[in-house]
């Protein structure tokens, strides 16, 4: 079954298969062996050969090989009653191996089991199927255990491949380390910029708050000074009204009409202010809605930022794991170098022994039969060497494919890192814009709240003043009309204004009840009007000073009392005349 074979030319299958190892004087154990199948060609006859190899990644000295030519396959087919031909035979073996893999993964008691037995001395690889009745052996192949030379060559080639892979990984690691340092420096710069922007934003916000507080204090001072000025003007106006009490009674009707017109104007203004309040409420709601949307966007950006941070941390963990793997590979390389040194010494000893045997063969040229046996043995060794070379070339091809895959994975990692950097920069810019927009929205909302509160206060004061003025006017008109129709003279014991004052709502009631004339009120002259109206300028002056409503009401009550006193004095003077 063994002939001189060149390196494999057509790989068929390579994979790990769960195998039960049976050794004499030892318990059975389960292991994952790497099964490789390739096609090759024999040198003398150019015959197609199926080459199989069993290795173990955990045991470097485990090596079993088998070469099956078409002639060997016919003998195996006859012995084991195989129904397929030689071209179909490898695919059926692959199907059986995959059945073993699937059964080991998905079943507690697998139906298909691969075993390697050395109980009889010769390694036999068997694939069996278990059913409730018996175990059926689908295939049984006799492998050849690798000798020292084959194992040494196999390990030497694997060591060279590992060194090349280690060099490549070291270069990739150095490049990734440089990129990581660059990324870390860039992240530090971006963090410093973000911190600087936050500090500037905080300072600007503090300055804006200070300016707002100063403006508010100035506004309050201006309001207080305006109220004081209005109070002085009201007092001066009251003095002038006391001096002009003779002329004010004749203009009472005109003042009443003017007051009614102003009342209607105030009502219209009240409606306008209510409309403005509704508009401001709608604007405030719209502003709050926009603020809620901005907060949601800020929350989503924070979540994206946290996800990017988590990805960065995972990449750092992967780099740490790669460093640990690199150190383990370095230690493995050192161990393999020591093993290579021992192997080299053994190889030199074997070379010396071979030279000695060559010299002995020169001295024994007469032994032709022995020389032929040695020639056959050398041919067998050459065949094994060619098989090992073919296997090593197949391993080299597999490692090249792995290296290409690793390069593609590294390129994807670089692209992902670049995308993450770009998304991080975009997120930082969006966060800065959102902070600015949030600050503007907060300032706008504060201004709207202040304007709304001021408008509400002004509206309440205007409504209170309007109700108080209307009640006082009605009360004064009633008293004047009663005095004119009854033609009676008020005495200190008679009813006073405080007794006949109409009820007033809120604070206006106390102010109305406090208005009492200091002397009995005489009858009003017949020529006087039937109702009294308040001068429009007086009412406007009283309503303009929102903070001095009490002074305006006192002034109006004083005018009315003086008018009653003057009206009673006029008839008495006419009767005396």
At 435 the pLDDT is 79
Task: Answer whether residue 308 is part of any domain.
Answer: no
At 497 the pLDDT is 39
DSSP string covering 278-343: HHHHHHHHHHHHHHHHHHHHHHHHHHHHHHHHHHHHHHHHHHHHHHHHHHHHHHHHHHHHHHHHHH
Looking at 97, 123, 146, the residue that finishes a domain is 146
Cα–Cα distance between 190 and 192 in angstroms, integer?
5
- Confidence band of 518 (pLDDT split at 50, 70, 90): very low
What's the pLDDT tens digit per position in 417-427?
Answer: 788 778 777 87
How far apart, in Å, do the first and last CA atoms of the chain sit? 166
What's the pLDDT tens digit per position in 227-276?
Answer: 888 888 888 888 887 788 777 777 777 777 787 888 888 888 888 888 88
Task: Answer whether residue 182 is part of any domain.
Answer: no
- Nearest Cα to Cα of residue 276 among 455, 59, 447: 455
Looking at 146, 168, 191, the residue that finishes a domain is 146
Is the pLDDT at 526 greater than 70? The verdict is: no
In terms of Cβ atoms closer than 10 Å to its own Cβ (0-12, 13-18, 19+), residue 528 is buried
- Confidence band of 494 (pLDDT split at 50, 70, 90): very low
The domain that contains 133 carries what CATH number?
2.170.210.20
Task: Answer whether residue 479 is part of any domain.
Answer: yes
Mean pLDDT of 501-528: 41
Task: Answer whether residue 366 is part of any domain.
Answer: no
Is the pLDDT at 530 greater than 50? The verdict is: no
At 10 the pLDDT is 62
What's the pLDDT tens digit per position in 454-469?
Answer: 888 888 888 888 888 8
Mean pLDDT of 531-545: 44
Question: How far, in whole angstroms, is CA 234 from its chain's centroid?
Answer: 65
Domain hosting residue 89, numbered range = 10-146
Contact 31, 55 (CB under 8 A): no
Mean pLDDT of 195-207: 89
What's the pLDDT tens digit per position in 330-388?
Answer: 787 788 778 878 777 887 887 787 777 777 767 767 777 777 787 788 788 888 888 88
In this predicted model, which residue has the larger pLDDT, 121 or 506? 121
Task: Answer whether residue 207 is part of any domain.
Answer: no
Is the pLDDT at 173 greater than 90? The verdict is: yes
Looking at 130, 146, 162, the residue that finishes a domain is 146
Task: Answer whether residue 123 is part of any domain.
Answer: yes
At 140 the pLDDT is 92
In this predicted model, which residue has the larger pLDDT, 342 or 537? 342
Count of domains observed in the chain: 2
- Nearest Cα to Cα of residue 558 among 337, 253, 245: 245
Task: Answer whether residue 121 is part of any domain.
Answer: yes
Task: Answer whether residue 303 is part of any domain.
Answer: no
Average pLDDT over the chain, rounded to an integer: 78
What's the pLDDT tens digit per position in 68-120?
Answer: 988 899 999 999 999 999 999 999 999 999 999 998 888 788 889 999 998 88
């Amino acid at each position: 079954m063994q002939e001189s074979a060149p390196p494999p030319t057509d790989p068929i299958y390579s994979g790990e298969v769960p195998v039960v190892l049976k050794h004499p004087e030892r318990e059975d154990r389960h292991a994952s062996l790497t099964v490789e199948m390739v096609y090759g060609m024999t040198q003398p006859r150019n015959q197609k050969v199926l080459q199989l190899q069993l290795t173990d990644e955990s045991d470097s000295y485990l090596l079993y090989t088998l070469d099956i030519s078409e002639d060997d396959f016919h003998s195996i087919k006859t012995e084991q009653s195989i129904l397929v031909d030689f071209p179909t035979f490898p695919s059926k073996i692959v199907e059986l191996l995959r059945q073993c893999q699937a059964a080991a993964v998905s079943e507690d008691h697998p139906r298909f089991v691969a075993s390697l037995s050395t109980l009889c001395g010769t390694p036999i690889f068997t694939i069996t199927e278990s059913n409730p009745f018996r175990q059926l052996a689908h295939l049984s192949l006799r492998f050849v255990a690798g000798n020292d030379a084959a194992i040494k060559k196999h390990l030497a080639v694997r060591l060279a491949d590992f060194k090349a892979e280690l060099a490549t990984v070291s270069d990739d690691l150095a490049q990734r380390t440089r990129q990581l340092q660059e990324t870390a420096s860039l992240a530090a710069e971006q963090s410093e910029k973000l911190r600087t922007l936050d500090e500037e934003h905080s300072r600007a916000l503090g300055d804006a708050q200070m300016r707002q507080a100063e403006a508010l204090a100035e506004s309050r001072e201006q309001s207080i000074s305006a109220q004081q000025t209005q109070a002085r003007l009201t007092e001066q106006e009251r003095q002038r009204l006391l001096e002009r009490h003779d002329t004010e009674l004749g203009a009472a009707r005109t003042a009443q009409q003017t007051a009614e017109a102003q009342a209607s104007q105030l009502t219209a203004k009240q409606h306008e202010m209510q409309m403005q309040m509704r508009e401001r409420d709608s604007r405030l709601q719209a502003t709050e809605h926009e603020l809620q949307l901005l907060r949601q966007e800020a929350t989503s950006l924070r979540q994206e930022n946290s996800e990017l941070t988590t990805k960065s941390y995972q990449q750092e963990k992967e780099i740490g794991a790669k460093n640990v793997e690199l150190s383990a590979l370095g230690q493995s390389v050192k161990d393999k170098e020591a093993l290579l040194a021992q192997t080299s010494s053994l190889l030199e000893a074997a070379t010396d022994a071979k030279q000695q045997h060559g010299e002995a063969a020169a001295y024994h040229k007469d032994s032709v039969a022995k020389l032929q046996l040695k020639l056959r043995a050398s041919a067998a060794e050459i065949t094994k060497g060619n098989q090992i070379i073919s296997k090593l070339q197949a391993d080299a091809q597999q490692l090249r494919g792995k290296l290409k895959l690793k390069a593609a994975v590294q390129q994807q990692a670089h692209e992902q890192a670049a995308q993450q950097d770009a998304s991080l920069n975009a997120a930082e810019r969006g966060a800065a814009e959102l902070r600015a927009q949030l600050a503007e929205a907060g300032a706008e909302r504060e201004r709207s709240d202040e304007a709304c509160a001021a408008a509400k206060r002004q509206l309440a004061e205007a409504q209170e003043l309007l109700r108080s003025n209307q009640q006082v006017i009605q009360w004064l008109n009633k008293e004047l009309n009663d005095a004119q129709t009854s033609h009676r003279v008020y005495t200190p014991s008679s009813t006073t204004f405080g007794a006949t004052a109409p009820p007033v709502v809120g604070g206006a009631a106390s102010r109305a009840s406090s208005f009492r004339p200091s002397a009995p009120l005489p009858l009003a002259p017949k020529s006087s009007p039937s109702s009294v109206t308040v001068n429009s300028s007086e009412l406007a002056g009283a309503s303009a000073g929102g903070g001095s409503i009490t002074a305006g009401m006192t002034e109006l009550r004083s005018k009315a009392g003086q008018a009653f006193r003057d009206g009673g004095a006029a008839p008495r003077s006419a009767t005396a005349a």
